[in-house]
Structure 1
């Protein structure tokens, strides 16, 4: 069958209203030649269509390994550790240079986290021109490509997370998502992602135009100059504040793509690989609460608690106080809590599924009063809330003594159990329910809320199960009120009681 790709060259009216205005092409660079959104014409089944109709490059083997390397990136990523090792053996570390290198690490790192990532990739806040130039220059000092190139890849990563259209998908392995995707030619072109909004930004154009000069100045030139003129440590400035600091910035940022998809918990959603962990946040200048970030990417925060480590959030907040940033976007707290609640319920559901529960009333035999009396002469059966219980395993374990159970064999002990003699604990109610062996014919108590063990009154039921429970409950009423479907939904019980009262 031939695939049909719907065309969207002429967007419908509702799309035109939100389509960015077109601007004349620029001759600055091929990256800026067009401001038309590149994803305006993609089909609804773009991911599936692309994966089925485009072939990836052949796998990398020992035979073709050398021809499949991206030698520019290999060179850049090899030079910094080589210079670091050389510096460690030839240049003594001065404490001023050491602390300056840490400061410069945060400066260039924030260029990526607060600039490339949260400002330009996700538009999570607005920045004044001075702040934009500051972040663009700092980002250049991290030597990770121009703003537009970086943002294009990152937007593709979010749109196609964990698919083969994700440029650094974690599903290909830890090394690939960390740096393999840069040093090996990509096996498949990343999925389409629009960056036409960035084409109109004069700061981004400036950075792209002078990118080579900027990385030479900001990555190595400026730190060498500051350490040299400041306290005479020219070599230390070059090797430690320059090369070593750059190596740490590289791998700090790479950890957002790798470690943040492997280490930690998924408190907001476990559909994809992103995870939250303090260690990842520590090594990525606050980008380690990645599960939250992938759920709410437009939020200027990664960490939402005051005690969580997110210096990038703190930096943006300070910039807002100074009038350099505005319109900080934060996802509604109500919706964030829904995500957390969903995952908490999911974990509880897993715990619930691992437990043993009482038999459903539909699975128990319906026993007449006469049969109950007869069987009670052969084994210890007690009637409570319309359910018949075999208490033989608990006769000698009963805290009040065997005699209290023995005197109620073959009798209705509902009143005594529910406070007449002793108001039993939740644990007692739950344990009793596990002893059910039948339902008394015509016994109305089993249809009351008393019949539901405390552990089941808040039992987690999926939407499909809830609908099934309500349906079965209604059906049981038409069958004589003695086969109540009771698969753990108190709501089903309530609906049945309402219908009885009506």
Structure 2
């Protein structure tokens, strides 16, 4: 790309989002009219022809070349190496270093990553980071340049093949405009992509094992296709396949398969929650070669200030989703009737009704044992003798210290509350174990300002 004028450099020092309104997103969607939807009748005008040529013609050239070019083992290994070389230029350079500033890199390492990234032919650092920062700021909205809600194909490659229907949301890159390495790459980008992406992978196989043609086809053209779609999978596959262990508000997901094809960028749910963390994978056994590369560079003195989000806050995100899943499971289960929904029965009425059906009093609650007498593990006689009586002591260890399962099942058989309640000192007997940690919604909490999402030890339990 041509060098920007001096005036543009000065303007680039001013953050582009400095004076945007508080309601920027809604204001933009309301005031800026998008282009009409893509129409095959106008496909010549709607397609971005430069990207169409790069992304569609390149794999055709590579496939035709592979049909007529033998793949030597030296070229095969070199192609894999070169794939990781240029791919790390994107993942460790464009993405984690410059787009998210997740670590600091020495000047030699910056030049290395800028050169490697140019070999991936995905635009200059400044252009790439501007789009990616917009993606993070406006994820899954109309201002997201590769909005996953528009479909897998669109987020993978469609957004590049067609002219954007709407300008991406504002994203500041003034910090990048001040970087001499980024300005150098931006100024010399066109010759760099030719040299790094095609000339070097052709020359090295030619000079060392006399396979210029194989180097061009496999390490040059086909390697470029793999790098392209590896990166594109971060925008598509990583928003479609996997789990949401940290937040399910947006589409990003975590999956090993995506990490495998994206040089470690597949733990995308984590990344969108903690974008300034230099890691994508936080466990040692998770596949993230980009993280390992950055860590090794730190050991060599080439990288520093590797940012790691506090483990306490990461765990909060995980706990939030774990509680949400537990809440969903909880909603599918049947629970005992709330004490406020049960009739209040006097002792005399309780004894009178117990003559007609097997009612048993335990912890201030009256239970109907009609369907359980014959199934009682200790024998029906133990229940029969307690009909019309208070069996609290016997139930809580006097005869047998019942299991949690027995407590939970007993609560499902409540049919009434004894007038006057239970004897003092038995408060911990009222709430069955399954409800002592029952998760409550915010509108169920006793205080509108309470911050807990779960109750414990039976305090303030809700049905």
TM-score bin, normalised by smaller chain: over 0.9
Are 2:249 and 1:303 equivalent residues in the alignment? no
Residue 370 of structure 2 corresponds to 392
Corresponding pairs, count: 455
Select which of 296, 304, 327 maps to 1:349.
327
Are 2:15 and 1:60 equivalent residues in the alignment? no
Residue 370 of structure 1 corresponds to 348
User: Aligned partners of 1:171, 1:339: CA distance in 2, in Å?
Assistant: 23
- 1:31, CA displacement in angstroms? 7.3
Task: Sort the Cα spacing of 1:402 and 1:469 in 2 relative to 1 into closer, same or farther, 3 A.
Answer: farther
Provide structure 2 residue ranges, at least 5 long, that are not aligned to the other structure. Answer: none
Are 2:300 and 1:322 equivalent residues in the alignment? yes
Write the mapping of 1:419-430 to structure 2, written as runs, cut at 5 A.
419-430=397-408
User: Aligned partners of 1:314, 1:490: CA distance in 2, in Å?
Assistant: 41
RMSD value, Cα: 1.8
Residue 459 of structure 2 corresponds to 493
Are 2:439 and 1:460 equivalent residues in the alignment? yes
Residue 113 of structure 1 corresponds to 91
Residue 96 of structure 1 corresponds to 74
Q: Does structure 1 conserve the Cα–Cα contact (< 8 Å) formed by 2:197 and 2:220?
A: yes
Q: Does structure 2 conserve the Cα–Cα contact (< 8 Å) formed by 1:28 and 1:209?
A: no
User: Aligned partners of 2:109, 2:369: CA distance in 1, in Å?
Assistant: 75
Are 2:76 and 1:122 equivalent residues in the alignment? no
User: Aligned partners of 1:412, 1:43: CA distance in 2, in Å?
Assistant: 68
- 1:310, CA displacement in angstroms? 0.2
Residue 195 of structure 2 corresponds to 217
Task: Sort the Cα spacing of 1:290 and 1:55 in 2 relative to 1 into closer, same or farther, 3 A.
Answer: same
Residue 265 of structure 1 corresponds to 243
Q: Does structure 2 conserve the Cα–Cα contact (< 8 Å) formed by 1:27 and 1:33?
A: no
- 1:64, CA displacement in angstroms? 1.4
What is the SS of the residue equivalent to 1:438?
Answer: strand
Q: Does structure 2 conserve the Cα–Cα contact (< 8 Å) formed by 1:449 and 1:493?
A: no
Q: Does structure 2 conserve the Cα–Cα contact (< 8 Å) formed by 1:32 and 1:199?
A: no
User: Aligned partners of 2:202, 2:284: CA distance in 1, in Å?
Assistant: 36
What is the SS of the residue equivalent to 1:352?
Answer: helix
Residue 225 of structure 2 corresponds to 247
User: Aligned partners of 1:223, 1:491: CA distance in 2, in Å?
Assistant: 66
Q: Does structure 2 conserve the Cα–Cα contact (< 8 Å) formed by 1:282 and 1:288?
A: yes
TM (norm. structure 1) is: 0.88
Are 2:422 and 1:444 equivalent residues in the alignment? yes
- 1:62, CA displacement in angstroms? 2.0
- 1:347, CA displacement in angstroms? 0.3
User: Aligned partners of 2:456, 2:341: CA distance in 1, in Å?
Assistant: 18
- 1:78, CA displacement in angstroms? 1.5
Q: Does structure 2 conserve the Cα–Cα contact (< 8 Å) formed by 1:252 and 1:283?
A: yes
**Higher relative contact order, chain-length normalized (CA < 8 Å, sep 6+):** 2
User: Aligned partners of 2:189, 2:418: CA distance in 1, in Å?
Assistant: 83
- 1:449, CA displacement in angstroms? 1.6
- 1:494, CA displacement in angstroms? 6.5
Task: Sort the Cα spacing of 1:106 and 1:77 in 2 relative to 1 into closer, same or farther, 3 A.
Answer: same
Provide structure 1 residue ranges, at least 5 long, that are not aligned to the other structure. Answer: 1-24, 472-487, 496-502
What is the SS of the residue equivalent to 1:410?
Answer: coil
User: Aligned partners of 1:134, 1:32: CA distance in 2, in Å?
Assistant: 27
Residue 259 of structure 2 corresponds to 281
- 1:493, CA displacement in angstroms? 3.0
- 1:54, CA displacement in angstroms? 1.3
Q: Deviations over 1:60-116 (max 9, x none)?
A: 122112210000000000122112111121100000000100000000000000000
What is the SS of the residue equivalent to 1:382?
Answer: strand
User: Aligned partners of 1:213, 1:247: CA distance in 2, in Å?
Assistant: 19
